[in-house]
Amino acid sequence: MSTKTNEQKSVRVALVQDSAPASAEEARERFAAKAAEAAGQGANILCTQELFQTEYFCWKQDPDFFELAEPIPGPGTDFYAALAKRYGVVIVGSFFEKRAPGLCHNTAVIFDADGSIAGVYRKMHIPQDPGFEEKFYFAPGDGPFRAWDTAFGRIGVVICWDQWYPEAARLTALDGASIIFCPTAIGTIESEPDDLMLKQRHAWLTVQHGHAVANGCFFAAVNRVGTEHGTRFWGSSFVSDFYGADLASASRDKAEIVYADCDLHAMEEHRRMWPFFRDRRIDAYGPILKRFGD
């Protein structure tokens, strides 16, 4: 873990909540326009939703969808690296990565403000549910959970299903992340009743705000909107502070950019009074490595 400390104490985050594009080319055009807009609003770090360059293709198992995968680095990442350099911003972008023939990942790439790739994170927890057939497409990442230094501070990334696991957020924070970003694609099956959707959305919001509180850091989740192949994505992208309070939040159904200013000095002062890392009983946590307690 790096000990480099960024001089900048306030970081402006921009979450790009959007609907599915018709193609990767359209996604690039859309994001280029949004990057220009966000940079004009003083944003330092931009984050996309999960698999933002395509529809959420995991709604069914279809080998043809593997044609959407791309190498990292490659022409696609070159495009977003150039955008990061042009506007002097950090970009957290979500990609369907072709690592090798027959081996693909759900991957986030962190582009630094000079256009270099600061880090690559591969989704560790892979779901398998009706409408979310991800095990067919993605191998789990080989870790670890970690953070990366950027021009605007040390940040970490988890992806969608990772967001339900306190271990993922904890280990990312323990590697020094001041802000944890979570590109996601989550919603409810259209056949499910609205009251169930509201309960699921409440659980989604609650667990992630809890990560921000338990780790004394900022947590930023960005989701897609719209209905795709029977799934209603509920948007609701947000940035939470270390008290679990929203600094900014988005609607459930509109494409929009959500801005939030994250005060890193205030976070440091907060940790002095709520010293969760100091009081951890690391000598007592061995059983966490077991599947269950029996």
- Identify whether 123 is a catalytic site residue: yes
Q: Which of 50, 55, 97, 134 is catalytic?
A: 50
Q: Which of 34, 70, 123, 182 is catalytic?
A: 123
- Identify whether 160 is a catalytic site residue: yes
- Identify whether 50 is a catalytic site residue: yes
Q: Which of 47, 58, 104, 160 is catalytic?
A: 160
| Residue 186 burial class via C-beta count within 10 angstroms: exposed 0-12, middle 13-18, buried 19 and up | buried
Q: Tokens for 103, please give them.
A: 């081996």
Active site residues: 50, 123, 160
